[in-house]
Amino acid sequence: MLIRKNKHGELPESEVTDHQIYLNRRQFLNTSATLAAGAILPISLASAAETPAATFKDIAKHDFAKGEQPSSFEAITTYNNFYEFDTSKSGPALLATEFPNKDKPWMVTIEGECDKPGEFHYDDLVRPFTMEERIYRFRCVEGWSMVIPWVGFSLSELIKKAQPNSRAKYVEFTTLYDPKQMPGQNRQVLDWPYTEALRMDEAMNPLTLMAVGIYGQELLGQNGAPIRLVVPWKYGFKSIKSIVRIRFVEHPPQTSWMKAGPREYGFFSNVNPEVDHPRWSQNRERRIGEFLKRKTLMFNGYEEQVAAMYSTMDLKKNF
């Protein structure tokens, strides 16, 4: 289904906090990249940094972080895990300034056990959905966390439009494979392209988000532009970035981190402070912008909304 083809990223920038900086996106990105080069620990990278005003129009706002202060825009966009670009935290912001290539149409394929498969242009895929801003806690497996105001729509709405059949028990996602744009893919750090998956009930949970923006702006390359998954009760690596394929399958897929380290990264990857990673404890975390660590919350603080899905499971065995 290819309808009218708009150019992705046509968002009015006149409402951004610092007009001079944000009218010139490249200038902003280069400034962020320079600052990111010195970032080593997840302490405040620039606590006084201005955050941009919303440019998505008429978005409903939902605070799922229960009043916690969002991490600064600069911290969120200069301290990233994105191995397709670089394995350091500051490297993705330096290397993703031209990503994605706006001269290439971004296409997402929906396939597998569904009645409405197809290849969709980004704009046609996203246009039918109402955008929301959702403030979520976001927990990384290495022991750091953020509070992030994502902009996007419920994955469940996309799934309903794809009309999966009765054999669809899991949803598999695949990241773009393009070593020219993503230089980290020239290194055999992982089995490229990157893949992740959710059980169908996890994918249909109201918290699960397809994100297309952050802090009221379109996603930057280092944050998973132009479209990514956000699963706030799981570790960050489950929230796959730069998605080009969504596939409905009957059996649990082998995800990238399961292939790389099955003893360390299980399929479910729920935030569970009682299950230590083999190389570090998971019971405490450092919020970016803070020096002291805090106690890790079960399911990253979303126990009330998601615990019922795992009520019959041993969460130490099924990590």
Please give the residue range of the domain that contains residue 300: 19-310
In a domain? residue 315: no
Q: What is the CATH number of the domain that holds 160?
A: 3.90.420.10
* 13 occurs within a structural domain: no
In a domain, 11, yes or no: no
Q: What is the mean pLDDT of the chain?
A: 86
Q: What is the pLDDT of residues 102-154, one digit of tens each?
A: 899 999 999 999 999 999 999 999 999 999 999 999 999 889 999 999 999 99
| 36 found inside a domain | yes
- 100 inside domain: yes
| Assigned domain for 2 exists | no
The percentage of residues in the chain with a pLDDT greater than 90, rounded to a whole number, is 76
**Does 66 map to a domain?**
yes
Whether 1 maps to a domain, the answer reads no
pTM, entire model:
0.84
Contact 148, 76 (CB under 8 A): yes
- When divided into structural domains, the chain yields a total of 1
* Concatenated DSSP letters of 129-174: SPPEEEEEEEE-TTSEEEEEEEEEEEHHHHHHHH-B-TT--EEEEE
Neighbour tally for 51: CB within 10 Å:
18
